[in-house]
Amino acid sequence: MISNMNKAVGTLIGVFTFLGTCIMWFISDENDHGPVELIGFVIVLIVVVFGLLVGIKQVISARKGEPIKDELSKKVMQKASSLSFYVSLYLWLIISNFSDKLNLDSQRIIGMGILGMALTFAICWLVINFTGVKNE
């Protein structure tokens, strides 16, 4: 059985691996970085900060001997994921509506949509985590 500390450290290792990969991609990319790439990189950094917050919260809980996934954190995650899915549907509608006007290739549009979904989830999680979950 994997201990809570190992799970929390695994989360942090995953975040730092993702960050390192993104930095290597950004540095090694031979193309000139335009505003779209810079916005995408900023969104990636925001998602990394979100991952760091979650990982640090898990490490603190594991050091205190608490479970890293209690009922409240599961409920916050469930609410945030359902709300972000709902908002992401509208995000994809907006992206599909403006995709012809943006004159971007399909890979870039899909990448922006995925980054938008990750950012939407991070924002929903932060809002629900700080405002609390209503008892239904």
Considering the domain architecture, whether residues 83 and 37 belong to the same structural domain is answered as no
The domain containing residue 61 runs over which residues? 1-69
Considering the domain architecture, whether residues 93 and 77 belong to the same structural domain is answered as yes
First to last CA, the chain: 34
Considering the domain architecture, whether residues 63 and 107 belong to the same structural domain is answered as no
pLDDT digits (tens, 9 = 90+) for 35-77: 777 777 787 888 888 888 888 888 888 888 877 777 888 888 8
Considering the domain architecture, whether residues 12 and 46 belong to the same structural domain is answered as yes
Report DSSP letters for 2-29, one per residue: --HHHHHHHHHHHHHHHHHHHHHHHHH-
What domain count does the chain have?
2
Considering the domain architecture, whether residues 87 and 136 belong to the same structural domain is answered as yes
* Phi and psi angles of residue 72, each rounded to the nearest 5 degrees, phi first: -65, -45
pLDDT digits (tens, 9 = 90+) for 104-132: 778 778 888 888 898 899 899 889 988 88
Contacts of residue 123, defined as CB under 8 A and 6 or more positions apart, other chains included, come to 84
Q: Provide the pLDDT for residue 2.
A: 59
Considering the domain architecture, whether residues 82 and 55 belong to the same structural domain is answered as no
Domain end residue (candidates: 15, 46, 69): 69
